[in-house]
Amino acid sequence: MKHIELHATPHSPKPCISDAYKKDLGILKSVEKADSLHFEPNCKACLDGAKMVLERAKSVKKFKLSGFCLDNSDRKISTNDEGVISDPVFTALFGHLKEPGAQPLRLTSLSLDIIDLTECKVNYANVIHFETLKKLRLRNCWRPDLFLDCMMHPNHGRATRLEELIIENHEDEQERLLNSTLDRFLKHNKGLKNLQLYLMNIGALPTLENIIWHGDTLEKLFVCVRKQPRDPNGNHESYTTPDQLAQLCSSMPQLKQLALSLAEWPVSMDCKLHKDKAGFKEKILVSLQ
């Protein structure tokens, strides 16, 4: 097997992956060559089953983890009365990678969806070697700014090969540190080909200059800015003025796809309205006149 997905199931009683592995050791043997893993657990037992797979997948390069189906008590970091911090998802799935002699993951692609990253400096940063990472997607995680900060000051290899960065943070207006950290991250790295940002405007957005910093290599650029979280109408704000857009386009000779959230724009810009699956209203640039 090259690709393995573990998802929540509506079946009752729920099948136990751990029991299945114990009954057929050949399944565990086949996991060893898997280079792509996608986990979407909905309980502690599912995390245990995912850990069994991760422990044996010695060549994993692509990793996707979603906490969407987990209860908050199972996915959120907490601190008890004695001040002991508990990170249930990390501990259950990656705890073995912090043991002496364990080798960090050398991933080329990482996707984290609704994962608490508050303690990533002492957890995720110690089990991931960022130097090999080419694709990163963080979707509605808690404290994604801390993850980006860890990549700028890593424990294991700086992310010099990153080509794709997708950040979705349009749900939580409390994540006020993301945009400024993202701005520094864009300046800290160079060579992105695919940059997609779905953000809340909380007073500061990534600067145009730091996007143009990647202008020589950018082939796809999406910047979508919402006014409020969970807005069913997808009300949006313009990221650039027409003059800034002209500057942006002239600085990206390799650009093939461009999507920017626009509010009040001249009709002569010849744009068409487009709604993506996240509910954003975007006008996709057809031509500059």
pLDDT at 266 over 50: no
CB atoms inside a 10 Å sphere around CB 114 = 18
- Mean model confidence pLDDT for the chain: 80
* Single-letter code of the amino acid located at 210: N
Closest to 171 (Cα-Cα) out of 144, 208, 210 = 144
DSSP H or E stretch at residue 89: helix 88-94
13: cis peptide before it, omega within 30°? yes
DSSP H or E stretch at residue 74: helix 72-75
pLDDT at 219 over 90: yes
Regarding whether 185 and 100 lie in a shared domain, the answer is no
105 located within any domain: yes
Regarding whether 268 and 179 lie in a shared domain, the answer is yes
Bridging pattern class, strands 78-79 and 85-86: antiparallel
Residue ending a domain, choose from 144, 174, 190: 144
- pLDDT, mean of residues 138-166: 90
40 located within any domain: yes
| Confidence (pLDDT) at 5 | 87
157 located within any domain: no
Across the chain, where does the E strand assignment appear? 3-7, 36-40, 62-66, 78-79, 85-86, 109-113, 135-139, 164-168, 194-200, 220-226, 257-260, 271-275, 281-285
* Single-letter code of the amino acid located at 29: K
pLDDT at 12 over 60: no
Regarding whether 223 and 107 lie in a shared domain, the answer is no
Q: Which of 80-84, 224-228, 257-261 has the lowest mean pLDDT?
A: 224-228
- pLDDT, mean of residues 161-171: 87
pLDDT tens digits along 41-84:
988 888 888 998 899 888 899 999 999 999 888 888 888 888 77
**Residues above pLDDT 70, as percent of the chain:** 76
CA dihedral 187, 191, 195, 200 (to 10 degrees): -10
Q: Is the model more confident about 28 or about 192? A: 192
CA distance 201 to 204: 6
150 located within any domain: no
In the three-class reduction of DSSP (H, G, I as helix; E, B as strand; rest coil), residue 272 is classed as: strand
Regarding whether 116 and 41 lie in a shared domain, the answer is yes
242 located within any domain: yes
Regarding whether 99 and 38 lie in a shared domain, the answer is yes
Regarding whether 93 and 224 lie in a shared domain, the answer is no
Q: Report the domain count for the chain.
A: 2
90 located within any domain: yes
Regarding whether 251 and 207 lie in a shared domain, the answer is yes
The residue written with tokens 């959120």 in the block is 76
pLDDT tens digits along 116-133:
999 999 999 999 999 999
154 located within any domain: no
Residue pair 33/66 in contact by the 8 Å Cβ criterion: no
| Confidence (pLDDT) at 280 | 31
Regarding whether 114 and 8 lie in a shared domain, the answer is yes
pTM to 2 decimals? Answer: 0.84
The residue written with tokens 């997948």 in the block is 57
CB atoms inside a 10 Å sphere around CB 15 = 9
| Confidence (pLDDT) at 175 | 63
CA distance 39 to 50: 7
| Confidence (pLDDT) at 287 | 35
Q: Which domain holds residue 227?
A: 163-289
